[in-house]
Amino acid sequence: MDPLMRRAIITGLLGGAAVIHIGLIGMIDAFQSRDTIADVLTLGALLPILIALLIGWRSGGPMRAPHIIPTGRRAVALGALGGGTTGLVITALALFTTTIDVRWILSNASPSLAEELWYGQGAALGSVLVIVVSAAAGAAGAALHVIPGTIARALTVGGITAILVALMEPFVVAVLRNIGLRFLEGIFYAQGGLTLIGFVLVFAITAAGTYAWATRGRETKQRVAAMPPDRRRTGKLVVYFVLTAFLLVLPQIVGSRLSEVVGTVGLYILLGLGLNIVVGFAGLLDLGYVAFYAVGAYTTAVLTSAASPAFSPELPFFGALPFVIVAAMLIGLMVGTPVLRLRGDYLAIVTLGFGEIARILFLSAWAQPLVGGAQGILSVPPPIPFGRDPQSIYYPILFFCILAAVAARSLQGSRVGRAWNAMREDESVAEATGINTVTYKLLAFGLGAAFGCISGALFATKIGTVFPVSFDLLVSINALALIILGGMGNIAGVIVGALVLVGLPELLREFSEFRLLIYGMVLVTMMLLRPEGLLPSRSRRAELHEREDAEDQYEDEAGEETGQPVVTT
């Protein structure tokens, strides 16, 4: 058989398997009650269509081995074939659940699932409808390869944004109310989803914006680059000013519920920026970073809380902070010194151990008189003059995030940054060019520790209590994952990584038991599509895309302005 057709059918079957999976775990049923477009499309109905679309996109795309690129009608037909195959499987699933009752083992394989898959139209018409709709979605997915790239991208971005705006209804509505645009709520939203008009508007606006940026963006950038330096500086200042003003009023705009999320994201940005110094800049794989977070939180709790078991000077938060930072840097050196000679995997394992040691120490009977063991330390006061409510604790977090970002940024371009760079590449050559690798490694550990502990300190005062359970391995893994996801070594990447990795699950809370499934899917997809992270640093990107167009490397890289364009030959 023709390899392309074979691929389309196999991909289609895989898509069918995906629908069976989400159907049988109850996701379609659960999402049936959630409107994406009011009265038109529920989220439950949207999922199989989206899957068919993706299948079509895969089926109509270029093939690697043998190397064939289907074009025009053929690509669209292949997409329809893939999507149609998925539709067939969906029909089969629906028929199966209506004829054989297996609910005693698969509780979601019920006739109601079939009804949902058939759009409530009964077996005959429903089956036809599912296959036609899936094939059409597949064709549409494949068509994205056929139409010009800028348009395809605009449509994709528009579609994704519209769906997200629909799903984020509670948050968007809150924001609209806070900024006095309440009247828009009635136009855009109904029954927990977008109205048809709202959906079309959101889609059209974002698609048009994306298209404009794709066609004019480069020109605009060039114009900015051609401006005289003093005007460019003014422009930059204006941008910074607007950004700062925006960040300052953000809690008022988004309201209390979202401010809480933003605060958590901020704590992870701090963690990420600190760990990025150790891992991204100095190349030391530290899996025990949570230790610093814990030390920061506990030192703060002991120094500020009236309920601290043994020793309680009851310092104000900002009075305690210097001690916290010194403590963490000392711990950083303590951890750093014994592992100086270790590299790569060995370093990772040993630091992993350190992280666990920290947690177990705080939990231990031995340290209980000081830190309260499993009971933890209660009533950590808020950072006066700020309160503990999400909208005001936001400000100290913001302050330290900006401080950390600026510090990391200036370190990156400095002599120290260059030394770390060299050390990461080849330690013995770095040593031979005059870099005292011991000093620079300890500096990385110490600075990373300082950032991590400030994050921990803010965490303690934000939550108001400190328990050992808050400091498990997952914190280290999340911090590492967010810098990998965002783009190792890049500061803007850390921020984006934290937003996606920490912000997303918070926003998905509504989807309760499916939250982690969706989250995992998003992560896997992103790492497959962009292994170098969302906003990679220049060198990592080059490494992972070595064979791609050299021209790509000329493109503007967010947050990178150290070097000249790279030429690959």
Partner 1 sequence: MTRTDTPAAGAQPLLELTDLHVYYGNIEALKGVSLTVGRGEVVTLIGSNGAGKSTTLRAISGTHKPRSGTIKFEGREIQHLPAHEVVTFGIAHSPEGRKVFSRMTVFENLQMGAFSRREKIDDDITRVFDLFPRLRERRSQKAGTMSGGEQQMLAMGRALMAHPTILLLDEPSMGLSPILTEQIFKIIAEINEQGTTVLLVEQNALMALHAAHRGYVIQTGKILLADTAANLAANEQVRQAYLGEI
Binding site for partner 1 (CB under 8 A): 415, 418-419, 421-422, 425-426, 428-437, 539, 542-543, 563-569
Cβ proximity to partner 1: between 388 and 418 the closer is 418
At closest approach, how far in Å is the CB of 441 from partner 1?
12
At closest approach, how far in Å is the CB of 542 from partner 1?
6
Residue pair 44/34 in contact by the 8 Å Cβ criterion: yes
182-to-84, 172, 198, 510 alpha-carbon distances in Å:
42, 11, 14, 23
At closest approach, how far in Å is the CB of 351 from partner 1?
24
At closest approach, how far in Å is the CB of 18 from partner 1?
38
Cβ proximity to partner 1: between 74 and 418 the closer is 418
Cβ proximity to partner 1: between 67 and 415 the closer is 415
At closest approach, how far in Å is the CB of 489 from partner 1?
10
At closest approach, how far in Å is the CB of 442 from partner 1?
14
- Report whether the peptide linkage leading into residue 396 is cis, meaning its omega lies within 30 degrees of zero: no
At closest approach, how far in Å is the CB of 462 from partner 1?
38
Residue 315, sorted as left (phi over 0), alpha (psi -120 to 50) or beta, turns out to be beta
Which residues are CB-contacts of 262 (< 8 A; sequence separation ≥ 6)? 250, 251, 254, 390, 394, 503
What letter would DSSP give residue 512? G
Cβ proximity to partner 1: between 92 and 544 the closer is 544
| Interior/surface letters 4-40, b for 16+ CB within 10 angstroms, e for the rest | beebbbebbbbbbebbbebbbbbbbbbbbebbbbbee
At closest approach, how far in Å is the CB of 283 from partner 1?
11
Cβ proximity to partner 1: between 543 and 556 the closer is 543
Residues 464, 268: Cα–Cα separation, whole Å? 18
At closest approach, how far in Å is the CB of 237 from partner 1?
29
User: Considering Cα of 558, then 564, then 566, then 567, what sign does the dihedral take?
Assistant: positive
Cβ proximity to partner 1: between 64 and 415 the closer is 415
What letter would DSSP give residue 199? H
Written as six digits, the tokens of 37 are: 């477009």
User: Considering Cα of 272, then 277, then 283, then 284, what sign does the dihedral take?
Assistant: negative
Cβ proximity to partner 1: between 91 and 421 the closer is 421
Written as six digits, the tokens of 12 are: 């289609």
Cβ proximity to partner 1: between 411 and 422 the closer is 422
Cβ proximity to partner 1: between 159 and 336 the closer is 336
SS3 content of the chain, % helix, strand, coil (to 5): 75, 0, 25
At closest approach, how far in Å is the CB of 225 from partner 1?
17
Residue pair 459/470 in contact by the 8 Å Cβ criterion: yes
Question: Which one, of 451, 306, 231, 339, lies nearest residue 459 by Cα?
Answer: 451
Residues 455, 276: Cα–Cα separation, whole Å? 14
303-to-126, 321, 373, 543 alpha-carbon distances in Å:
67, 9, 16, 46
Cβ proximity to partner 1: between 164 and 429 the closer is 429
At closest approach, how far in Å is the CB of 284 from partner 1?
17
Cβ proximity to partner 1: between 288 and 487 the closer is 487
Q: Would strands 189-190 and 35-37 be described as parallel, antiparallel, or unpaired?
A: unpaired
Cβ proximity to partner 1: between 430 and 494 the closer is 430
Cβ proximity to partner 1: between 43 and 285 the closer is 285
At closest approach, how far in Å is the CB of 419 from partner 1?
7
Which residues are CB-contacts of 65 (< 8 A; sequence separation ≥ 6)? none
Residue type, 380: V
Written as six digits, the tokens of 330 are: 């000392």
Residues 381, 384: Cα–Cα separation, whole Å? 8
Cβ proximity to partner 1: between 234 and 436 the closer is 436
The upper half-sphere exposure of residue 544, i.e. CA atoms within 13 Å in the direction of its Cβ, equals 15
**Number of CB atoms found within 10 A of residue 318's CB:** 14
Residues 518, 505: Cα–Cα separation, whole Å? 9
